[in-house]
């Protein structure tokens, strides 16, 4: 069974006798008197029961927090594409599990422009990107994720964003205002001072 939480999906444990709330669309009765409950206010989430999940999972790129995912592996993958970093990182067949928020945060940590072409990165820049991706994801995990609207009971990572949703506010590295542009049809937040479009 594969569960994709999407925007507002949430899993929680509750005693079976507890009344379900209106967003709890799927209940799994466990053998200990508890339920595993899938709650999803926006109904974007998906639950799939598959005989063989490998076909589905093989469409996904590597898991960036896996111990075996190395900067060298990232370098090889980046070099195979001539795409801008922002849409490439959002492509789930390139890397698994990085969405709009984490892409913007990772690129700011790495000091790389969102429109930088993937096959032009030096090895040092690739290592910075590799670290940036992992640091952004680890920060999200540390704060139990981000709650960007009322529907998700999750964490408070939204109070620690470096760039996402902070257009006009000062960059925490240099003090210049964070800018918002659109790249590949996605709102993109970055610091034009720290993330230069072309590096010398
Ligand atoms: Zn800056």
pLDDT at 66 over 90: yes
pLDDT single digits (tens) 129-138: 999 999 999 9
Q: Which of 21-25, 34-38, 161-165, 190-194 has the lowest mean pLDDT?
A: 21-25
> Residue 103 C-alpha to ligand 1 middle, in angstroms?
16
pLDDT in tens, 11-26: 999 999 999 999 999 9
Give the global pTM. 0.87
**Residues sharing a CB contact under 8 Å with residue 122, sequence separation 6 or more, in sequence order:** none
Angle at 27 between CA 5 and CA 36, to 5 degrees: 70
CB contact at 8 A, 166 and 140:
no
Distance 164 CA to ligand 1 centre (A): 13
Alpha carbon of 166 to ligand 1 centroid (Å)? 12
Q: How far is CA 59 from CA 48, 53, 55, 96, in A?
A: 15, 10, 7, 9
Number of Cβ within 10 Å of residue 123's Cβ equals 10
């Amino acid at each position: 069974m594969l569960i994709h939480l999407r925007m507002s999906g949430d899993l929680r444990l509750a005693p079976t006798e507890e009344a379900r709330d209106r967003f709890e669309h799927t209940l799994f009765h466990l053998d200990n008197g508890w339920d595993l409950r899938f709650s999803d206010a926006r109904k974007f989430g998906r639950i799939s029961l598959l005989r063989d999940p490998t076909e589905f999972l093989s469409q996904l790129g590597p898991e960036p927090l896996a111990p075996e995912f190395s900067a060298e592996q990232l370098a090889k993958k980046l070099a195979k594409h001539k795409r801008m970093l922002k849409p490439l990182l959002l492509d789930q067949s390139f890397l698994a599990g990085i969405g709009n928020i984490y892409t913007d945060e990772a690129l700011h940590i790495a000091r790389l422009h969102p429109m930088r072409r993937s096959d032009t990165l030096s090895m040092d820049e690739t290592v910075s990107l590799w670290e940036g991706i992992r640091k952004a994801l680890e920060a999200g995990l540390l704060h139990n994720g981000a709650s960007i609207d009322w529907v998700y009971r999750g964490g408070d990572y939204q109070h620690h964003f470096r760039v996402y949703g902070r257009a006009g506010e000062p960059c925490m590295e240099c003090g210049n205002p964070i800018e918002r542009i659109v790249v590949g049809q996605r709102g993109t937040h970055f610091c034009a001072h720290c993330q230069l479009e072309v590096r010398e």
